[in-house]
Amino acid sequence: MRQGKSGLVDLERLSTWHKYKKGLCADCRASCCTLPAEVRVSDLIRMGLVDAFEADHPPKEIAKRLKKAGIIDHFNFKSEMFTLARMANGDCLYLDSQRRRCTIYDKRPDTCRNHPQIGPRPGYCAYVTL
Q: Which of 61, 96 has the CB closer to ligand SF4?
A: 96
For the chain, the farthest-separated pair of C-alpha atoms sits apart, in whole angstroms, at: 49
Q: How many helices (H) and strands (E) does the chain have?
A: 4, 9
If binding is defined by CB under 6 A, does position 33 make contact with ligand SF4?
yes
Q: Which pairing describes strands 7-9 and 18-19: parallel, antiparallel, or unpaired?
A: unpaired
Give the type of residue at 71: I
Q: Which of 24, 102 has the CB closer to ligand SF4?
A: 102
Among 9, 28, 37, 71, binds ligand SF4 (CB under 6 A): 37
Q: Which of 7, 104 has the CB closer to ligand SF4?
A: 104
Which neighbouring-strand residues pair with 18? Answer: 125
If binding is defined by CB under 6 A, does position 94 make contact with ligand SF4?
yes
